[in-house]
Amino acid sequence: MRWLVIFCFFLFIAFIVPANNAQAQCISFARNIAKPQLAPFIHDGNYNATYMEEGESAELYKTFFEGEEYRLVVATVESLPKLRIRILDDQRNVIFDNADHQFAQVWDFEAKSTGTMIVHIKVPDTKQKSTVLGGCVAILFGVKANNTKKK
Amino acid sequence: MKRIVYGFVYLISIALISSLVYSCTCQSQKKEKSEESAIIGSVDEQLMEDFNKSKLIFYSLPSPLETAMLIKRAGATYDPDLLNDLENLSKYNTNLKMALNLGVYSADMSYTSLFDQTQNTLKYMGASRKLAEQLGILGAIDETTIRRLEENMNNREVVMDIISETFMNSNAYLTENDRPTIAVMVLVGGWVEGLYIATQLTNGSLDKNPRLIDRIVYQKLSLQTVLSLLENHQNNSDIQYLTGKMEQLKAIFDEIRIVTTSKVEAETIPEKQMTIIRSEAETFMSNEVFERLINKVVEIRNEFIS
């Protein structure tokens, strides 16, 4: 009888707990994996992370201010392929596509004018029919800090 | 005892079957998606399809830290009289007031840190910690954070990193614990405080610091983001209240014109992994509109901190 209870407990841990924690684990992922890639830019502090599966997409609206330099980091768990990242202007014209740059997941932007941009990300479909891959995806922005050392 | 065990086994079985059904559903959805893709065909159509079917939309407001950086780079100065008095802390005893003022104190903390006002940064970090704890935001700002801040007070870069970490922790905690309305209130409080500091630093003049004025004018775009954030939670009465306040601000910002005179152009430098973005625009704001904007920001901010 005791073995039956233990067996059921492990089944519970194996199947139920991971499903519930999938979302909650993204903060650790964003903090430990995504944020360090922003250096030497300073993370703006905004938290944009979620659980995504292959084939899914998301958008982030961000105002770029004139004279500022930004670093965009899109990080995914290892099990997911590199994401397609496109930057659109407010008329939804594509002004940057990482498919033209070996699907780079880190890119810098220098704003010579102020405007709202849309970061559009897509998890590619891997065409593996047996399973659907999913995991945390974080989109973080850093701002270039000039003269940050005290004199 | 036997009955309890059988009940437990029954529940586990149900959970397992549910898991299997869920994974089957995922696969069938995937199959449907791939069939759909085959039908869509052309690349351009696929691209439009991606854009139209985005699963999730994030609205990223300039954080208090970014706002403080924008203010400082515009050549503004430090004025301690603009900070929300720490004596007010004990007054905040509703979720709305605690959340708004967590944002306000976070913005003040960022402002003090950018101008190397180390003692004030520590005090405002302490106030933010208290409000975060009262809101039940666990671990966002703890004893280690305060100690790390104390130990690195002479390194602005590390101080900024610690501050950004506390924002992310608070925001993530609230988002991942199903309290997005509180997260939005914190963001709104921080944004209004940043706007308050910026407008006050102009001393009511449109000419004294054109760069700072430019930063304020373009908050029209950020206000749109604020309204989009609020729009998603209209079933909450505090959010309805904030929407009303932001609509009052919008009525004034609507009188400020930003006229784009060229298309957005991008120049990519692959070896630097960098893209330069530029467009041309002209902005128009009269003295009278600016004065009304300053007064409205003061009115809303004072209501928040009272």
Asked whether residue A37 is assigned to any structural domain, the reply reads yes
Which of B8, B51, B268 lies at the smallest CB-CB distance from A8?
B8
- Kindly list the domain boundaries of chain B, sorted by start residue: 64-256+288-305
Which of A4, A30, A115 lies at the smallest CB-CB distance from B279?
A115
Nearest CA in chain A to B275: A109
Which of A45, A64, A150 lies at the smallest CB-CB distance from B116?
A150
Provide the pLDDT confidence category of residue B29 given band limits of 50, 70 and 90: very low
Residue A57 sits in which domain range?
Answer: 2-143
Provide the pLDDT confidence category of residue B54 given band limits of 50, 70 and 90: low
pLDDT of residue B7: 55
When mean pLDDT is compared over A129-143, B7-21, B73-87, the highest value belongs to B73-87
* pLDDT tens, position by position, B77-114: 999 999 999 999 999 999 999 999 999 999 999 999 99
Q: Per the confidence metrics, is the pTM higher than 0.90?
A: no
Count of the separate structural domains present in chain A:
1
- Mutation to test the B interface, candidates A62, A89, A114, A146, most B Cβ within 10 Å: A114
ipTM of the complex: 0.83
CATH label of the domain that carries residue A10: 2.60.120.380
Nearest CA of chain B to the CA of A36: how many Å? 11
Q: Which amino acid is at A90?
A: D
Q: What percentage of chain A reaches a pLDDT higher than 90? A: 70
* pLDDT tens, position by position, B229-246: 999 899 999 999 999 999
Higher pLDDT, B11 or A116: A116
Asked whether residue A149 is assigned to any structural domain, the reply reads no
Does the structure show a pLDDT above 50 at B247? yes
Contact between residue B167 and residue A143 where contact means Cβ atoms under 8 Å apart? no
Provide the pLDDT confidence category of residue B45 given band limits of 50, 70 and 90: low
Nearest CA of chain A to the CA of B220: how many Å? 10
Q: Which of residues 20-39 of B touch A (CB under 8 A)?
A: 22-23, 26-27, 29-31, 33-34, 37
CB–CB of A132 and B26 under 8 A? yes
**Torsional class of B225: left (φ above 0), alpha (ψ -120 to 50), beta (otherwise):** alpha
Contact between residue A150 and residue B62 where contact means Cβ atoms under 8 Å apart? no
Strand order from edge to edge, sheet including A115-122: A94-97, A84-88, A115-122, A57-64, B56-60
* pLDDT tens, position by position, A39-96: 999 999 999 999 999 899 999 999 999 999 999 999 999 989 999 999 999 999 999 9
